[in-house]
Amino acid sequence: MDIGLNNIFESLAVADPGETSLSGIASGVKRHSDYWFDDGSIVVIAQDTGYKIHKSVLARHSEVFRDLFSLPQTSADDHLDGCPVVRITDASGDFSNLLRALYDTTRDFSLFQLHKRQPFAVVAGLYELAHKYQIDNLAEQMLRRLRSIFTDNLNTWDALEHVRVERGYTIVRSASLEVASRTDAIRAVNLARRSGIASMLPVAIYLTTFHRTGVLLTGIPRPDGTIDTLSHEDLVRCLDARAIFAHWTHTKFAWLTTARVDSGCKSPAVCGAALTVLSRENARGSLRPKTPYFALDIFGDAMKSLARKHGACKTCNMAMLTRAEEERRVMWRSLPQDLRLDITDWGRS
């Protein structure tokens, strides 16, 4: 059952203390190996996992749990291993990580060390539960990690590690967070909505554009079977974004390949011929990537490669890079408007 303050407890049978698998109405529920304490005062069940933990620990950190525990106790028949029982709708993996954050900071402080990178699934789950249960300090810590990638600052975005992987997907890494577009993009959009921080949406929406239409329509499954899906409004926005970023990619290549020989060029004939070849290849579409990822790429390595291949000199190459960087900054500034998002102070952080 959900964590509302009415109808909190469900009737569950008392299990044999020597068993790790719970019986009766709780059949199929396993005791968590780390968070089943002999002196625990409440049993929380998330999915197929039971936790015998301490009311005092939960209440100390969470006003929601504190209010919940102030309700009248249920009858003795509604207890498990001598404790009242609460069923929650949260994923067991997320709730286990929440308990790790509340119980184990002296043994494992990595969740609170921003230089210790965490996967998006862990950070997102902790943020969602901290937000839900009003554990403000934990929510703020996770939000700092999230905003290290879901940023409104182009320089911050450029400083991140971007790794292209199979099927055109990408992995983005900051010092404190790793996000994989293949598994995390839709959940990131929904988390940005839940947080109320609109400035996180553009990068999250950008990462959804690596997916085919069918995936955006049906959602992305998590390991526990939960499927992350987009609202109708954000689905339309993400589908439109694919066309927007494809256009941006084409525009950026057009800016690069219509460049003129720089006034400081010492081999104008060679560079003129190289730029003509680049322009022809772009017109045929042979330069354009198959994914929209390049729309916000720094593009330096790609241009150096093209310059070496076609013989453009360093001066002309730098002129093209400067031109591309100017266009990228225009694109970045227009992101909220192009995605139909109302975001004030975008790009000023």
Calpha distance 284→341 (Å, rounded): 34
> Does the pLDDT at position 88 exceed 70?
yes
Angstrom distances, CA of residue 215 to CA of 207, 221, 307 = 13, 10, 37
Calpha distance 333→323 (Å, rounded): 16
Q: What is the pLDDT of residues 95-127, one digit of tens each?
A: 999 999 999 876 666 777 878 899 999 999 999
Angstrom distances, CA of residue 321 to CA of 65, 110, 158 = 55, 40, 14
pLDDT at 186: 98
How far the first Cα of the chain sits from its last, in Å, is 41
Determine the average pLDDT of the residues in 10-34.
57
Tokens of 177: 């967070």
Determine the average pLDDT of the residues in 285-314.
64
pLDDT at 10: 38
The residue ranking higher by pLDDT, 193 or 2, is 193
What is the DSSP-derived secondary structure letter of residue 86? Answer: E
> Does the pLDDT at position 94 exceed 90?
yes
pLDDT at 176: 95
Which pTM value belongs to this model?
0.81
Calpha distance 284→296 (Å, rounded): 22
> Does the pLDDT at position 293 exceed 70?
no
Q: How confident is the model at residue 254 (pLDDT cuts 50, 70, 90)?
A: low
Calpha distance 308→271 (Å, rounded): 11
Determine the average pLDDT of the residues in 82-97.
91
- Tell me the one-letter amino acid at 103: Y
Q: What is the pLDDT of residues 123-139, one digit of tens each?
A: 999 999 999 999 999 99
Low-confidence winner among 21-25, 31-35, 124-128 (lowest mean pLDDT): 21-25
pLDDT at 3: 43
Calpha distance 259→343 (Å, rounded): 33
pLDDT at 156: 94
Q: What is the pLDDT of residues 195-224, one digit of tens each?
A: 999 999 999 999 998 899 999 999 999 998
Tokens of 226: 């939960």
Q: What is the pLDDT of residues 278-288, one digit of tens each?
A: 777 766 665 55
pLDDT at 243: 86
> Does the pLDDT at position 319 exceed 90?
no
pLDDT at 26: 61
As a whole-number percent, the residues of the chain with pLDDT over 70 amount to 79
The answer to whether residues 278 and 306 touch, using CB atoms and an 8 Å cutoff, is: yes
> Does the pLDDT at position 8 exceed 50?
no
pLDDT at 18: 42
pLDDT at 112: 76
Mean pLDDT of the chain: 82
As a whole-number percent, the residues of the chain with pLDDT over 90 amount to 48
pLDDT at 9: 33
> Does the pLDDT at position 144 exceed 70?
yes
